[in-house]
Amino acid sequence: MDNQKPVSKHKHIVLTSHPHRSAQKPAIHWGKSDPIERGPIIGTLTNANQRNAIGTHSGSYAVYRALAIASGALQANHRPDLTNTSPVVRIGPHPSWADPDRIISLDPFGAIVGEVYTQFYEQGYDIRPTIAVTKAHINMPELLDEVAKGELQIDGKILKSNGNLVVTKVAIDPVWYLPGIAQRLQVKESDLRRILFQQTGGMFPELVTRPDLHVFLPPIGGITVYVIGDVEAITDPNRLLAVRIHDECNGSDVFGSDICTCRPYLVHGIEVCIQTAQSGGAGVIVYFRKEGRALGEVTKFLVYNARKRQEGGDRADAYFARTECVAGVQDMRFQELMPDVLHWLGITRIDRLVSMSDMKYNAIVNSGIQIVERIAIPEDRIPDDAKVEIAAKQAAGYFTPGEVPDAIALAGIKGRGLEE
Ligand SMILES: [Zn+2]
């Protein structure tokens, strides 16, 4: 075929699945407080001899990068020009950064590699940031509705009269320290590595052939943090902190689907964050790309059909069972890894946790963070068709300040049919 374009002069494949000359490979000592002692994490592909991590940067977007290179749009040896990309707000270092058990699923130095690893850059090392910190205005129409109802106040600084909300936002790519992940999940590291290798279709041979490499950049979605108010207030024991941990639900969060409470609860979390920030504290929204309890949207939509078509229609008492039938489990989110981002922010106490999930609550408390108060979604924010979900969750032990539905009540809570 003569219409194919040559994409790279270097067609040989460098296998990294076995240890080789690696004088250039910096050692990683996970959990060291000094970034030089800890060592930079290098997952870039421009120089195989420098690599000290398995996998590569940008999570699942690495596959799009491969397409860009394959199609000739991007040079394989491109190095980013990082001029003016450094964080706009300083976060850390916090004592938790130096605790090898506290943070195992992100690189605490990920935002400041350009600052702490200058000597490596001068020697030609290709070190990429895994965290970026910027500022923005966001605007969600529900916030102005709450202003009109008198539930929220415009202050002109945090919440502006046009409904714009001033935020600091942080994007975080996952960086896994495998011994720590294994310990957190209470499995053997060798089993974890073997199953990660097998269940990605053998995508990362180094998981099983390179026990000398302990850091893995997994091809999964990351985290976005929205901070409302003064970032300094997050770690100030004399100021209040509100937090919502939100797992992605594209259908509701973006498109306003009425089958669940995700967007209304996210908005309520933001409101509590605004009120807390306006009283001198801060609010933190942590948004995880764990669509549909980390089962993905295809599974999620299959479950919707199974729920709506089952005998007796969509019922709260069969809500979890339908998910389990399709996915094999009710949930794949592994909240055990979730508190890492809170520790990265230096959080030791949450005054208002805007969440009803016991899994999240327990994971946060077990990681050593104090929770003072839990805030449920207000009744009037729950869409009609989402009553199935919320009742099922309450009956399963999710936090609720109201009555927990019993078996009879649960069987009576029904959602719309598929064609309605
Ligand atoms: Zn949802």
pLDDT at residue 405, rounded to an integer: 84
Give the CA angle between residues 304, 310, 312 to the nearest 5°. 120
Bridge partners of residue 282, in order along the sequence: 229, 241
Mark residue 341 as left, alpha or beta (left: phi above 0; alpha: psi -120 to 50; beta: remaining).
Answer: alpha
SS3 79: coil
Crossing angle (nearest 10°) for helices 141-149 and 262-278 = 60
Spacing, Cα 57 to ligand 1 middle (Å): 28
Spacing, Cα 252 to ligand 1 middle (Å): 5
DSSP labels, 122-167: HTT-----SEEEEEEEE--HHHHHHHHHTSS---SSSB-TTS-EEE
Spacing, Cα 264 to ligand 1 middle (Å): 9
pLDDT at residue 384, rounded to an integer: 86
Q: How far apart are alpha carbons 415 and 308 in whole angstroms?
A: 8
Spacing, Cα 231 to ligand 1 middle (Å): 29
Residue in the structure block whose two tokens are 């002692």: 37
Residue in the structure block whose two tokens are 């799009």: 64
Among 181, 173, 182, residue whose Cα is nearest residue 217: 173
- 197's tokens: 């290798």
Choice among 239, 333, 352, 374 that is catalytic:
333
Spacing, Cα 406 to ligand 1 middle (Å): 23
Active site residue 331: yes
CB 117 within 8 A of CB 127: yes
Output the CA torsion sign for 226, 66, 212, 208.
positive
Spacing, Cα 387 to ligand 1 middle (Å): 12
Spacing, Cα 138 to ligand 1 middle (Å): 21
Pairing status of strand 282-288 against strand 349-353 = unpaired
The torsion of the CA quartet 318, 324, 326, 331, rounded to 10 degrees, works out to 120
Spacing, Cα 189 to ligand 1 middle (Å): 33
pLDDT at residue 1, rounded to an integer: 47
Helices (H), 222-309: 250-253, 262-278, 291-294, 297-309
Spacing, Cα 100 to ligand 1 middle (Å): 34
Q: How far apart are alpha carbons 198 and 181 in whole angstroms?
A: 17
Mark residue 374 as left, alpha or beta (left: phi above 0; alpha: psi -120 to 50; beta: remaining).
Answer: beta
Spacing, Cα 263 to ligand 1 middle (Å): 7
Alpha carbons within 13 angstroms on the beta-carbon side of residue 213 total: 31
pTM, rounded to two decimals: 0.93
Alpha carbons within 13 angstroms on the beta-carbon side of residue 59 total: 15
Spacing, Cα 248 to ligand 1 middle (Å): 8
Active site residue 289: no
Spacing, Cα 396 to ligand 1 middle (Å): 17
- 272's tokens: 């509590």
pLDDT at residue 408, rounded to an integer: 79
Output the CA torsion sign for 326, 331, 333, 336.
negative
Spacing, Cα 298 to ligand 1 middle (Å): 14
Q: Long-range contact list for 357-364, CB < 8 A, 24+ apart? A: 357/245, 357/393, 357/398, 357/399, 358/397, 358/398, 358/399, 359/331, 359/333, 359/335, 360/245, 360/335, 361/399, 362/335, 363/335, 363/336, 363/338, 363/339, 364/245, 364/338, 364/339
Tens digit of pLDDT per residue, the chain (420 long)?
456 655 555 566 655 656 655 678 999 999 999 999 999 999 999 999 999 999 999 999 999 999 999 999 999 999 999 999 999 999 999 999 999 999 999 999 999 999 999 999 999 999 999 999 999 999 999 999 999 999 999 999 999 999 999 999 999 999 999 999 999 999 999 999 999 999 999 999 999 999 999 999 999 999 999 999 999 999 999 999 999 999 999 999 999 999 899 999 999 999 999 999 999 999 999 999 999 999 999 999 999 999 999 998 888 888 889 999 999 998 888 899 999 999 999 999 999 999 999 999 999 999 999 999 999 988 888 888 888 888 888 888 788 888 888 887 788 878 888 888
Spacing, Cα 179 to ligand 1 middle (Å): 33
- Going from the C-alpha of 379 to that of each of 256, 257, 283, 376, 403, the distances in angstroms are 17, 17, 22, 9, 12
Q: Long-range contact list for 299-302, CB < 8 A, 24+ apart? A: 299/326, 299/327, 300/251, 302/326
Choice among 173, 314, 331, 340 that is catalytic:
331
Q: How far apart are alpha carbons 174 and 222 in whole angstroms?
A: 6
SS3 374: strand
